Chains A and B, each alone.
Chain A
């Protein structure tokens, strides 16, 4: 079935490089979330989109992190000038309703390793 997909699944970057992570949510889902998950910890909220509008970006750790969802479907998380502390799994989730008050469906994640 058509779930949430993310690409690439694995990304290795040298410190200082820019990376772009893609999320394809379930078709028709209004809400889209990005999370960062460090090893052995639970996911931490980064940002939330309702359709194309970024309503909450309070979790983005620095101005090197930027997310967009220009047409209200596919979303891209961009990290500029990557640092070693950016190494983590980046998870995307979508839900049908606005506000994300219903079940969230997660993608498999992108594991980013910054050397």
Chain B
């Protein structure tokens, strides 16, 4: 069964810290992996998409890496800000559907 897990489930940090969110997937036959942000009561916003042939993607203060062989992806957030507070979900794409992790709930304290 294709499963995606995320660690930690929740994280609270002071403003300015660099942090790492972890994602693991059981089936390495992914087409791509996508990181999303979800604010309370809102839909998902795509942050970064990494194709299976790529090792990492960067956008501003965000950097995501992908290691297919070990079934892992990490999202690195530099110099965190209170506006980064949200739930972060990773999703592995297997051809016609995404398998989502349960998310990491991030709180950045001012």
Binding site for B on A (CB under 8 A): 4, 33, 35, 40-45, 48, 55-56, 58-59, 91, 93, 99-109
Q: In the complex, what residues of B have CB within 8 A of residue A103's CB?
A: 34, 46, 49
- Write the nearest CB–CB distance from B107 to chain A, whole angstroms: 15
Please choose the segment from B11-19, B66-74, B75-83, B96-104 that sits at the chain A interface, where 4 or more of its residues have CB less than 8 A away: B96-104
B106 interface contact, C-beta 8 A: no
Tell me the bound Cα distance from A48 to B34 in angstroms. Answer: 17
**Chain A: which residue is nearest B105 at the CB level?**
A40
User: Is A45 in contact with B98, judged by CB distance below 8 angstroms?
Assistant: yes
User: Is B46 in contact with A99, judged by CB distance below 8 angstroms?
Assistant: no
Q: In the complex, what residues of A have CB within 8 A of residue B98's CB?
A: 33, 35, 43, 45, 100, 104
User: Is B44 in contact with A48, judged by CB distance below 8 angstroms?
Assistant: no
Binding site for A on B (CB under 8 A): 4, 31-32, 34, 36, 41-46, 49, 89, 91, 93, 95-103
Interface class of chain B by DSSP? strand
Q: Given known contacts A104-B98, A106-B36, what 11 new A-B pairs fall within 8 Å (CB)? A: A42-B4, A42-B91, A43-B98, A56-B97, A58-B97, A99-B95, A99-B96, A100-B93, A103-B34, A107-B43, A108-B43
- Write the nearest CB–CB distance from B91 to chain A, whole angstroms: 8
Tell me the bound Cα distance from A58 to B98 in angstroms. Answer: 12
Cβ-defined partner of B96 (8 Å) among A4, A55, A93, A104: A55
Tell me the bound Cα distance from A55 to B96 in angstroms. Answer: 8
Q: In the complex, what residues of A have CB within 8 A of residue B101's CB?
A: 42
- Write the nearest CB–CB distance from B64 to chain A, whole angstroms: 13
Q: In the complex, what residues of B have CB within 8 A of residue A4's CB?
A: 43
10 residue pairs A–B, Cβ–Cβ below 8 Å: A42-B4, A42-B89, A42-B100, A42-B101, A91-B44, A100-B93, A100-B98, A101-B31, A104-B34, A106-B45
Tell me the bound Cα distance from A38 to B86 in angstroms. Answer: 17
Q: In the complex, what residues of B have CB within 8 A of residue A102's CB?
A: 49
User: Is B102 in contact with A41, judged by CB distance below 8 angstroms?
Assistant: yes
Q: In the complex, what residues of B have CB within 8 A of residue A59's CB?
A: 97
Q: In the complex, what residues of A have CB within 8 A of residue B45's CB?
A: 106
